[in-house]
A = this chain, B = another copy of it.
Amino acid sequence: MKMTYDMYSPIDAVLVNALNEDIGSGDVTTAALIAEDHFSEARIIAKGDLVLAGLPFAERVFQLVDKNVKFKMVKGEGSRVRHGSIVARIRGKTKSLLIAERTALNILQRVSGIATLTNEYVRTVRELKTRITDTRKTAPGLRYFDKYGVRTGGGRNHRYGLYDGVLIKDNHIAAAGGVGKAVARARSNAHHLLKVEIEVGTLSGVQEAVKAGADVIMLDNMQVERMKKAVQIIRRGNPDTTIEASGTIHLGNVRAVAETGIDVISIGALTHSAPAADLSLEFSSP
Return the CB mask of A137-181 against B: 1 if under 8 Å, else 0: 111111111000000000011111111111111111011100000
A252 adjacent to chain B (CB < 8 Å): no
User: What chain B residues lie within 8 Å of A259 (beta carbons)?
Assistant: none
User: What chain B residues lie within 8 Å of A156 (beta carbons)?
Assistant: 191
Return the CB mask of A55-93 against B: 1 if under 8 Å, else 0: 000000000111100000000000000000000000001
Q: How far is the CA of A32 from the CA of B157 in the complex (A)?
A: 13
User: What chain B residues lie within 8 Å of A244 (beta carbons)?
Assistant: 192
* A255: min CB distance to chain B, Å: 20
Q: Are A22 and B136 in contact (CB under 8 A)?
A: yes
* A268: min CB distance to chain B, Å: 8
Given contacts A28-B166, A141-B17, A197-B193, contact A175 B33 (CB under 8 A): yes
> Which of A7-15, A118-126, A204-212, A224-232 sits within the interface?
A7-15
Write the residues of chain A forming the contact surface with B, with a CB cutoff of 8 angstroms.
2, 4-8, 12, 14-35, 38, 40, 64-67, 93-94, 96, 98-99, 102-103, 105-107, 109-110, 113, 131, 133, 136-145, 156-172, 174-176, 182, 185-186, 188-195, 197, 215-216, 242, 244, 263-264, 268-269, 272-273, 275-276, 283, 286
Q: Are B160 and A163 in contact (CB under 8 A)?
A: yes
Given contacts A6-B66, A67-B6, A139-B106, contact A191 B33 (CB under 8 A): no
Q: Are B64 and A29 in contact (CB under 8 A)?
A: no
